[in-house]
Amino acid sequence: MAKKRSNVIGGWAFLAGVIIAVVFGFLGNLSPNLAYALAVIGIVIGLLNVADEETTPFLMSGAVLIIASALGQNAVGTIPQFGSILDSLLLLFVPATIVVAVKNVFTLARS
């Protein structure tokens, strides 16, 4: 029962984080408090939303998203809103990917 509840919380955290990242990234109003909030939501996503069988696809997708967002900002420099959205998504997905990667390393070390 607890696993199902944490999955629901993680799912809502993921949806809320993406919506917040895109909306405030588009508006360009990314205050330090909002940046901290996105990072905390990313940690919650990493802790609660990714099951063991989803680890490899999440890490692959997260790595691609992080690399594309970081390197893609040079390509979309003429559209400031798009660059801001990518920054916001990085604030969300970098902590989530790090948490899932660390969980995966502990799982591998246990077995």
| pTM across the whole model | 0.84
Q: Total domain count for the chain? A: 1
Residue 85 CA to residue 11 CA, distance in Å, equals: 21
Per-residue pLDDT of the chain (111 residues), as tens digits, is 345 555 677 778 888 888 988 998 888 878 899 899 999 999 988 888 877 888 898 899 889 988 888 888 777 777 888 888 888 899 999 999 999 999 999 988 987
Range of the structural domain that residue 6 is part of: 2-110
C-alpha torsion angle, residues 70, 76, 80, 81 (rounded to 10): -80
